[in-house]
Chain A
Amino acid sequence: MTDIAHPLAAPNPHLETSTGLDSRKLAIWTFLGSECMFFASLISTYVVFRNKSLVGPFPHTPWTDPATGRVYEPIIEIPLVTVGTALLLFSSLFIVLALYGAQKGNRKMLLGWLAATIMCGMFFVGMQVYEFTHFVHKGLTLQRNMFGASFFTLTGFHGTHVTIGVIWLLTMFVLALRKQLPAENAINLEMAALYWHFVDVVWIIIFPVVYLMQ
């Protein structure tokens, strides 16, 4: 007795669609297209405001507050974020390997690479949390200046998307552990993987625009 008791079961395989493509996969791509506009609006806001701060701290240059004399170091620190970027990139590789395992019915491959993906994702979120608190210590808050407002909003929403992705992947991992992600249901992991790659691809844009551009 498989599919009624089986969560996330594939609908009746006799289901035919006009394109031959699975509706759920099409739905995820449609959603990702919409999300492009969401992040475009956030990135635009960042680009518009990043050099418009009235006071420091600034991303790449030090600044002394004329009122208090406090020296604010440049906020951006390349090494840490580069590690995070690399982790996120590798996580995309890991999840596509996990998906390969899922599609081939290779549960060990699926579990191993999915675990690696989740670890990378969690490290990335951890890095962001650390980075945020570190920046706050250096004097950059949401309210401080336009750079703070647009930086925390853009990277914060991206980080939220990553967190949701991690929760989604953890759910997939638990399903896989319970042997509820056989090859015929690999599409469920494929949907999660597409979302995960998208979150990575948005970071591919954010990283240079926020951290590297002057």
Chain B
Amino acid sequence: MTSHVTTADEHERAHPTPGTYTKVGLVLFILTALEVALYEITFGEHAGALGDLTHVFVPMLLTLSAAKFALVAMFYMHLKQDSRLFTGVFVFPLIIAAVVILALAALMAYHMAFAKSGG
């Protein structure tokens, strides 16, 4: 046998334990609850309970989502423990994707503001 038998274990150094996974799961659940709560106090049944949050709603919401995204990617998909190549292979397209979404939203919003329907 060669000295370089590469199995799954060799490259997943110090994998999290089921306990860690469960804790991450609870955090994810709490973050989701916070997202929904944020919605409720901004637009939903309890709108205005903490003042007018409409302007900070989107940034706060997206921050919560980004945190969930990162947790799943880093712990459940093992990006934190695995080779950084996988992180690069995933994060690079993610950045391009984000840029495309933002660019399209901006370009189309400008366009639609000027091209009123019926014109």
Contacts and interface: CB of A to CB of B under 8 A. Distances in A.
A–B touching in complex (CB under 8 Å)? yes
Contacts of A198: 77
11 contacts: A16-B6, A36-B90, A82-B32, A89-B25, A90-B25, A93-B25, A186-B8, A193-B77, A205-B69, A207-B35, A214-B54
Interface residues of B, number: 59
B101 to A, nearest CB: 5
B72 A187 contact: no
Chain A interface: which size bin?
35 or more
In terms of DSSP, what is the predominant structure of the interface of chain B? helix
B73 A201 contact: yes
Interface of A: 13-14, 16-17, 19-22, 25-26, 29-30, 32-34, 36-37, 39-41, 43-44, 47-48, 52, 54, 60, 78, 82, 85-86, 89-90, 92-93, 95-97, 100, 103, 184, 186-187, 190, 193-194, 197-198, 200-201, 204-205, 207-208, 212-214
Given A20-B4, A44-B105, A190-B8, A34 B93 contact: yes
A22 B65 contact: no
B41 to A, nearest CB: 12
B112 to A, nearest CB: 7
Contacts of A103: 8-9, 15
In terms of DSSP, what is the predominant structure of the interface of chain A? helix
B85 A37 contact: no
Contacts of A37: 93, 96-97, 100
Interface of B: 1-2, 4-11, 15, 18, 21-22, 24-25, 28-29, 32, 35-36, 38-40, 43-44, 54, 57-58, 61-62, 64-65, 68-69, 72-73, 75-77, 83, 85-86, 89-90, 92-94, 96-98, 100-101, 104-105, 108-109, 112, 117
A184 B108 contact: no
Contacts of B72: 92, 197, 200-201, 204
Contact of A29 (B5, B21, B54, B86): B86
Contacts of B21: 93, 96-97, 100
